Structures are given as C-alpha cells and as structure tokens.
Structure 1
C-alpha cells in the first residue's frame, strides 16, 4: 500500500510540475515583445543618467548610447518612476504625432503637476484639459490676432535694449532675455505692465524650470523642492490677479481687453467656485512656462551663434538693415516686415536644430500598439526627443556644421526637424515665438555688433540649454 501511495505521489508531483512548466512556457510565449532596454534602479530607474547627461552638457548621450546598444527605432527605459518607450527616428516621430488620441494621449509626470497645479485640482487636471486649453489658443495665436501684438513686441524690445543693454559695455544675455520674455508674456497674456507685479512672478518662476525634470525628491534645498515652493507662490499671486480681473469684468471695465486671461474668464464655463479660478491659474502657469523658458533660451542661443559666426551675423544684419531703412523714424515693425526676415528665420531654425530649447515631450499609451515590431503596452509612457534626428547625419549631412541653407526651399525631410513637435499637438505658440524672436533679432543687430567675452563658454542643460556664465557679450554700438 505504501508503494502505491508513493508511486501516486511521485506521479502527481511529476504531472503537476509538467503542468506548471507548460503554464510558464505559455505565458512566456504569449508575453508581448517589449522594446529592448533596461529599467535601471528601482523607483528612480534611469532618471539620474538622463538628468546627468543633460547637466554635463551632452543630453544626446543618454539617447545615443541606448540607440547604439538596443535599437535605432525605439528602446525601453524607466524615467520619473514610469515604464517608458523612447522613440528614436523620423518614422517614430511621425507615428507618435499622427497617433494622438488613437494610440497615445497627453501625459504630465506627477512631479511636474505637483509644481504647476493646485493640489485641489489635481484630479481635474486630466487629459481633457489640454484640449479645452487649445480650443482658446488658435483664436488668440492665429496670424490675424498676432498682428496686433507686433507693435507692442517691437516697442517693448526697444525699451528693453535701451534700458538694460545700451548703458553697458558688457551684458549677460541669458538673464536679460529671461526678464524680457517674461515681462512680454505677462503683458500679452494678462495685460500686466507694472514691473513690480512682474517681479513678483519672475523671482519664484526662476526656481521652477530647473526642478521640472529633476529627480522628484521633495527635501529642502533640492531643485524639486525649490520648484514646488516657487509654484506655491506663483499660484497664489495668480489667484489674486484672477479675482481682481473677474471683478473688473463683472463691472464692465474689461470689455475691450484682448489678453488671454480675460478670454478664459469670459468664454469658459465659470461655475463661480474657487476650483474654477484654480483651473484658470493652472492653464496660465503652463502657458507662461512654455512661452517664457523656451523663447528666452532660443534667443540666447541665437545671440550665441551670431556672436560666434561673423559671416552669419553680417547676412542677418544686411537683411534687417534693408527693413530698417524702409521705415520712417520711430515707425514700428508690422506684419509685412516680419515676412521679409527669411534668412533670419533660417538662422533661427538652424540654431534650434543644433541647440533645441526643449528636449522633447511625454505621452501615454491608451491602448496596446505595435511599432517597429515591438509592443508598447497600454499605460506605458512614451517620449519623443529632438536628439534622435536633429544631429543625425542621415537627415542632416555634416550635422555639426551651422548651415542656415538647410531650411531653404522645402527644408528638411518631414518629421526630422521637430523643435515644436508635430501633428495635432504641435506647439500652438510657434508663430508667437517666431514673431518674438525675429523682432528681438531685428532690434539687436541694427543696434549692436556682438563679441563673446568667453569664446568657449560651455552650454549646460537645466533642462533647457543655458550658457554656464549667462553668455557674456561685449557690445559695440553701431550708432
């Protein structure tokens, strides 16, 4: 009896083992073919490598090392505590840009939302909010509306150069352009003209950008903690302005205002609650970050190239002087003048190709989908990045050479030049940025010759490209 019992026991264990092996094999055989790569350390993943590459002045290293090791199309990593697929080619850009709301949707890392968004509205700040925001922007940022801003941009630029540049032989370009672009955004978005009010925003705003893509450790002294605290100050200041503007609107004192804040307060569904006011604040903060940091960085980078490359400066100067000579004394720029700045815009595009103001953008997979033979599971995050195409010799021969002629005619191959993204989620402020940059260039080169004080000044990324010493420039007045 003991023999048969032991035999039955051994056979049972044998068959159960075979069944378990079958289940494991079946599970493995049916597992999705995930992109190659690694997740890195628990929780933080490869975030330290990602941030470290940017801090060292070579953000493309993180991408290039992994495309060489894993795949030139897509690889797997873990950033900001999320499983992530990084798309690495023009075909990847095209797939993501055309797949909005079909395969992917807008996604903000929780660490970024903690900096920007009121905690009480965190749940409301969802996938629908960007759509609602964009419904206001086309009207506000289309050419017909932007034409009205050109004289304001031009006069503010002249005042800025006269007060903050002309009195000095040498200036630090980056902090000055940050002040200028922020003051301009406050004026156009919220009709704020008082320098003291602008300063209340500017100081805490300076703490936000470095913390947005930092490791989200909320301990006093860390970049993330400084960004969180800066966000609290800005949100409260914005609430005060929003409530004052609502009062003005109710009293009929703001009927002719063209700024975005009034549009948000008069055309959206106002339920009269503090949560609605917070929601408007969230949207304005997002716009200020997008319009302020990237544009000030772009202007700084362009000035850097103009000061480094005299032959480029001379051609920009010639183009801008032709426009200046056609104007009456004191006459401000207009829409037709902007359309004549073709070479200057090519220089701008080449500057943003070599030193893009933003690294890319995140999205979230809303369904399982396949790309380049690999499966991206629902819930994974995706990231497209400028560094996989902007300096790829396949798309841009001799990629380190500064060559504005790349943008003549039809320009680069579609989906290879992507500083503004692409598809339905292309940056809606592209035309606004174009005006702001070109108007600044016009006034700068017709007023000064430029010379770098530190010829080999290093560029660091925090997360946007920033000259290590603020880009110290020697000014030589032309008049």
Structure 2
C-alpha cells in the first residue's frame, strides 16, 4: 500500500514535468567542446534517483567515489532536473567557497520554508551585509559572555532528562537541548507558552524540510509550509516586542541575537539612519539559525557519543582533560570561556568526528557565467555540486582516512580547503564558534557525569539527508561515580 502511494506521487510529480520539458524546450546554443566527462542521463530524472538511493543506504560517498574512479575529480551529470558538474578536491572547494561567479542554489523547498532572504540564498553584497550583521553577536568576543548561559541550559537538561534514567535515546535529546539553547541564547525566549508554540511549529516544519516540493493536501511539504508560517508568526511577534523594548530603553543589543540584529543601523543615501536588516531578513535568518543551530550541532554531539562508546582510549583522554578543568572550579561553578580554551583535545575529537561524518553531505551552486576548472568548462546556468566527505576521506590529504585520529588537528592544520565541514573562505559558517561552545560545554558535563554503552548490536546510520544513527542511538546509562574506572565498551 505504502509503495503504491509513493509510486502514484512520483508519477503525479514527474508526469507534468516531463510533459513541460517535451513541449517547452527550446533550441539552445551549442555546448562547449571541453565539457567535463560523464553523461547527463535521462531528461529530468538524470542521476537523481541513484544518488538519493545511495544516500538512504549510506553509500552516497561510495557512489561519488565510483564517479571519480570513472571520470576523475570533475564530471558532468544531471541532478534534480538540471545539468550539473560534480567537483571535488581542495582546488574545487576553494572555487565553490570563494568565487563570486557561483551563486548559492538550495533545494527549491528550502527558500519556500525558510524565506527567500535567508543567508543561504544570498550572494555578493547582500550576503556580506547579512553575515556581517550576524557576526556582531556570533563572534568570539560576544559569545564569551554567554558560556555560563549555555552551561546552565546543559546542566538543567541533563538533570531533567538523563539523570536517573537507565536508557536514553541520544539524537532526539540532543535536538531538544540545542533547541533550548537557541531559544534561550539567540532568541531570548523564556520557557512558557510562546516557546512551546515555536517548538511545536518547528518540529512539524522539520518533517517536510527535505521533501518533494508538492504543495498539495496531505503532503509533507504542505504541512511543513503551514508549520513554517506558524513559526514565522512567533518570530515576527518576538521581533516586534524586542524592537519596542529597545525603543523604550528596556533592553540592550547584547541580550540576544534577534535584539542585536534589530538594533543595527546603517546610513541611507540622505544621511539618515535606518535598520541594517529588514524585518523580513531578520526573521528569515532567525529561521536558518534555528535549523542550523539545532540540526548540525545535535548530529555532531550524537556521533561523538556514538564513537566514544567504542573508543575507551579517546574517552579516557577526554575525561582527564575535563577532570583537570573541574579541579580549579568550586562545586556548581559554571564553565567560562577560558575553560573552553583548555578543552583542546575534546575539540579535536569533534573535528575528527566532523571529518568522518559531516552533517552536511554536500550542496549546490549555480554558475553565473562560463567558468573553467582543471581545463573543463562549467557553462553558465549549470549547477555545481560539491561534497565535503569525498575530500575528507582522500588518502593523499588525510593519511589512513578510515582511522579515527584526533591528532590530525593537533599543531599543523590540514591544507587549505581540505577540511570543509564548516565551509570555507567567505562562506565559512557564521555559527562555528556558537557550535564550539554548545559542543564543548555539553561534552564536559556528559563525560564527567556518565558512562554509557550502545543498546543496538548494529552500529549503523543512514542519511535522510543528515546522518541519523540506528533508532536515534539508544544507550544504557550509568552514573560515573558508580561506574568502573575502565570505560565500558560497546556491545558487539
């Protein structure tokens, strides 16, 4: 029954697209002779189904490596109805993250759900203006004041939902924690009805974030659009309240990200001061922050927990690092920015986790003009697709890439544009320091309070589109002061 419904939806979706393709296609200018090797496949469908199947089976990286074996690091294919050039390697990554001739191109559903003025959709001066505004709050000098706030959220979360439990499921709990941190620190929302409405709308919105953009009754995309509208109403009301508080002098720009963005001013042509970002831009980018701060950090911390369950040596080194930090603090005293600076080994573990299992599989750009890479032409209007994990697992860059080795990030850093879990160049993630604070504070309290073992015999994960461990990673918990001195190994 379920299969027949899926087939019916695919037919309903693809039939009008194919008909439109056949009856509206126009003669195009001849393609250049030096196109990359490869095939565009069938019209409209191209290679999309093959890549999606591979991602759901967690063989997406192998699917791309097979292409590289056949065609090299630059090849042409067709994805999601558009001619595409797949690129990999440091030089390609540099092009993707620095070239003004490449514009962002997200799946069609994302701007419809998150808003068209979000930072993922912007390029050029608009991108620099919005990113610069967000960095006013997300830069290290600002975030150092809020480590104690994050510490309090993590402590409250572990006391309420981990302590005293024999088993917990890690991924949904990590998502709940990161939502609470974003709601408190970035949106300034107190616990109560408003925050609960945002949480409910956000949960419904996520279900259709990566769905086929069919705005029809009973589709996941329609439900996600409606949930997005509810979340936006909450954020619009929050923004209006924060602007009013600023005007009355009852708040300051450093209170939270939304207040900070609302407070920023720029001169217009006549010398008047105006709001640097429009209300639409503030809300759209609050939506992006909500998704990015919730999903990527929760996935990272979940996979760190997953790895540490079977790596007692790495866990023991982390425990020593965090015990040493705790020695200098009074009972119950919150962590500080200086404490985070001393968690060097833990951050290397996080970076190695990101190298091996990056939350973002890859993304697209669109060529604004004819471009050249490795002697091949990328025609104007074509998509450019890159995938971080392929470069991350390149033996010529990372020795024994299948081995988990945090020392790769000690001392000498990887070559430029080789490790791109946070992007690079002008497209470096604006929230990298925020993610670092979330991750280090959470792991400090986890490894000092608990030991755990995996409940599932199969230690696998799938991508849909972000990596998700089997059953959300259920684990058996044990208080550290009751555990043996030797970390427990995961079940075989």
Q: Does 1:166 align with 2:163?
A: yes
Partner of 2:402: 400
C-alpha displacement at 1:126, in angstroms?
6.9
Relative distance call for 1:43 and 1:232 in structure 2 (3 A) is farther
In structure 1, C-alpha distance between the alignment counterparts of 2:453 and 2:219, rounded to whole Å: 36
Partner of 2:129: 132
In structure 1, C-alpha distance between the alignment counterparts of 2:221 and 2:328, rounded to whole Å: 50
Partner of 1:424: 426
Alignment of 1:370-381 (within 5 A): 370-381=372-383
3-state secondary structure, aligned to 1:148? helix
Q: 1:210·1:462 contact (CA, 8 Å) conserved in 2? A: no
Partner of 2:283: 281
Q: Which has the larger radius of gyration?
A: 1
C-alpha displacement at 1:360, in angstroms?
2.5
Relative distance call for 1:44 and 1:291 in structure 2 (3 A) is farther
Relative distance call for 1:195 and 1:474 in structure 2 (3 A) is farther
In structure 2, C-alpha distance between the alignment counterparts of 1:165 and 1:371, rounded to whole Å: 51
In structure 2, C-alpha distance between the alignment counterparts of 1:219 and 1:338, rounded to whole Å: 48
TM-score where L is the length of structure 2: 0.84
Alignment of 1:199-214 (within 5 A): 199-209=196-206, 211-214=208-211
Structure 2: runs of 5 or more not aligned = 1-27, 267-271, 482-492
3-state secondary structure, aligned to 2:394? coil
Q: 1:246·1:265 contact (CA, 8 Å) conserved in 2? A: yes
Q: 1:244 aligns with which of 241, 246, 249?
A: 241
Deviations 1:261-299 (A, max 9, x none): 1122221569999x9433321111012112111011111
In structure 2, C-alpha distance between the alignment counterparts of 1:68 and 1:212, rounded to whole Å: 32
TM-score where L is the length of structure 1: 0.86
3-state secondary structure, aligned to 1:308? coil
Q: 1:74·1:86 contact (CA, 8 Å) conserved in 2? A: yes
Q: Does 1:182 align with 2:179?
A: yes
Cα RMSD between the aligned structures? 2.7
Q: 1:365·1:379 contact (CA, 8 Å) conserved in 2? A: yes
Q: 1:117 aligns with which of 115, 118, 129?
A: 115
Alignment of 1:9-24 (within 5 A): none
Q: 2:213·2:221 contact (CA, 8 Å) conserved in 1? A: yes
Q: Does 1:264 align with 2:268?
A: no
Relative distance call for 1:433 and 1:94 in structure 2 (3 A) is same
C-alpha displacement at 1:459, in angstroms?
0.7
3-state secondary structure, aligned to 2:145? coil
Partner of 1:7: none
Partner of 1:153: 150
3-state secondary structure, aligned to 1:158? helix
Relative distance call for 1:371 and 1:256 in structure 2 (3 A) is closer
Partner of 2:8: none
In structure 1, C-alpha distance between the alignment counterparts of 2:408 and 2:324, rounded to whole Å: 23
Partner of 1:19: none
The more displaced of 445-454 and 58-67 is: 58-67
3-state secondary structure, aligned to 1:469? helix
Deviations 1:387-407 (A, max 9, x none): 221122222222221111111
